Amino acid sequence: MIIAERKPFEEIKNMIAGYKRILVVGCRTCVTICWAGGEKEVGILSSQLRLQSGRNGNELSILEATVERQCEKEMVTQELGDKVQDIEAILSMGCGVGVQTIAEIYEDKPVFPALNTAFVGMPEREGLWIEMCAACGDCFLDRTGGICPVVRCAKGLLNGPCGGTRRGGKCEIDPEKDCAWVLIYRRLEKQGRLDLMRKYYEAKNYRKVKRPGKIEALEA
């Protein structure tokens, strides 16, 4: 899923300065799971904005809404309905895709991002998310026992570890991190597929996905 984190309050406050009626919109999908932009986080940010404005004597009118999936136009229009009508600005707590979806639907309203979208990852434990996929467009996982060296090796090496692996299988860049290639070796060893370690692979074609990426399903 997409992992994001909230921008500092000061930055958000400065973005919306000058607007009085603001709609804070969360998303119930990825950013809810990573505690960045779900219904609760919308409540917290809205509450903070109200407290701040009350202190300044500059009363803001803050409306709250959370949609099922901010990256789908139908869901956004259906769930926001006429809430947007009297609003001066929208503060999106969705990922970058959510912000752009809302901005495309309500072209006459300024839409501001309250989150920094960071990466595609998975939860490692409660409150910790790790990047797992670079969305490179040319998946390599069949050869590496399901561990992506593009993201999980600090150098993105495709043909085994660099010379810097530390004792205990840690990375030379970050001694806290496991060396991806040690993990790959151990996984392949378990599967009896160590022969894959002897193969050489050509440099990856990172231009496989032309940016901006576009995929059209055949059935469409």
Partner 1 sequence: MSMGTDNKIIAFCCEKSAYLAADRAGRMRLYYPDNVRIIRVPCAGRVDALHMLRAFEKGAAGVLVMGCQEGACQHLTGNLRAKERVRYTASLLEEVGMDGARVKMVNLGPDMAQKFVRVVKDMAEKIKER
* Interface ranges with partner 1 (CB under 8 A): 8-10, 40, 43-44, 47-48, 50-52, 54-55
* Sequential DSSP letters for 14-44: HHTTT-SEEEEEEESSHHHHTTSSSHHHHHH
> For partner 1, which is the closer residue by CB, 54 or 81?
54
Asked if 67 contacts 92 with a C-beta cutoff of 8 angstroms, the reply is: no
d(CA 67, CA 53): 25
CB 48, min distance to partner 1, A: 5
CB 77, min distance to partner 1, A: 27
Among positive and negative, which fits the CA dihedral 126, 127, 128, 132?
Answer: positive
Nearest to 3 by CA among 29, 34, 37: 34
CB 215, min distance to partner 1, A: 39
CB 17, min distance to partner 1, A: 14
For residue 113, the one-letter residue type is P
